[in-house]
Amino acid sequence: MEIEGRVALVTGAGAGGTGRAIACELGRRRAVVAVNDLDEAGGEETVRRIASEGGRAAFMPADVTNEEEIRAAIAFAEDTFGGLDILVNNAGGTPRPHFPDAPTEHWSRTLDLNLRGPMLAIQHALPPMRRRGGGAVINISSVAGIGWKPHSSPEYAAAKAGLARLTATLAPLADRDGVRVNCIVPNWIGTDDVLAEIDAMTPQERADEGVPDEVTRPEQIALLAADLIEDESVAGRVYVWWTGGEPSPVSVEDLPGD
């Protein structure tokens, strides 16, 4: 898919991290970008950065854990820019405390943010994408959902595992609706929040958490996301990006399950 002239919706694009980097990269490639976040100031800053490089963008506040607000964000992209071609499910996070010590409503929201929200966004994005002849979806997962080791946030790990598996199961949408769904599974990304978290760790804590000497930059993830949107040959692919290495694609056939 040629990105130039397409309409994109990027969730969680207001903070100075992966979402903003992806939104700005799509803007550089001349997509029109609907910027979503709960942080109005951050969202408007992303819009300003896209505009400063000659791109077009507009901010739409929406809580991706709320179905009506997701529906409204997609309608905003259609009403403002005339359609929807690209969806990037980037919004995510896992605030403390965690399961099983957190209250049910707290850890349930983490599941909604990291899995149910992207599922709803895909479901509601399909009709406008069909009207445009197809589209592309990028899900941003995490290596928290890969493998069998313990994780400090079980609800986050479970949701991100589900998001990667969801992506593979949706490979048939490419033939059915012309909509390609792919997933990026990063490890440590050097966002402002992550860098601050690393700085606050002791050397032993860094060793225990496996923090590498050099983390992946948000701009690297953004370049891969844009490339996957443009590459018509990939659908249902899960790209695992361990820090310090290169993204490694896992095909549908490589994943366990029926």
Boundaries of every domain in the chain: 7-244
Query: 215 pLDDT band (50/70/90 cuts)?
Result: confident
Say if CB 218 and CB 20 are below 8 A apart: yes
Distance separating alpha carbons of residues 154 and 106, to the nearest angstrom: 13
Q: What percent of the chain has pLDDT over 70?
A: 95
CA angle at 57 for the pair 30 and 6, rounded to the nearest 5°: 40
The pLDDT tens digits of the residues spanning 3-28 come to 999 999 999 999 879 999 999 999 99
Average pLDDT over the chain, rounded to an integer: 93
CB 17 within 8 A of CB 42: no
CA nearest to 50, candidates 33, 62, 73: 33
For residue 13, the one-letter residue type is A
CA-to-CA distance for 163 and 121, rounded, in angstroms?
Answer: 12
Say how many Å lie between the first and final Cα of the chain, rounded.
Answer: 30
Burial readout 77-101 (b: 16 or more C-beta within 10 A, e: otherwise)? bbeebebbbbbbbbbbebeeebbee
**Does residue 100 have a cis peptide bond before it, meaning omega lies within 30 degrees of 0?**
yes
Categorize the per-residue pLDDT at 207 as very low, low, confident or very high, splitting at 50, 70 and 90: confident
Beta bridge partners of 184: 140, 239
Identify whether the C-beta of residue 12 lies closer than 8 Å to the C-beta of residue 19.
yes
Among residues of the chain, what percentage have pLDDT more than 90? Answer: 80
* Mean pLDDT, residues 100-104 taken together: 98
Q: What is the pLDDT of residues 116-130, one digit of tens each?
A: 999 999 999 999 999
Selected from 3.50.50.60, 3.40.50.300, 3.30.300.30, 3.40.50.720, the CATH number assigned to the domain covering 7-244 reads 3.40.50.720
Select which of 99, 107, 156, 239 is catalytic: 156
Give yes or no: 239 in active site: no
pLDDT of residue 133: 98
pLDDT the model gives residue 188: 77
Return all residues near 39 (Cβ < 8 A) that are at least 6 apart.
14, 15
Instruction: List, in sequence order, the alpha helices (H) in 132-217.
Output: 154-169, 173-177, 192-199, 203-209
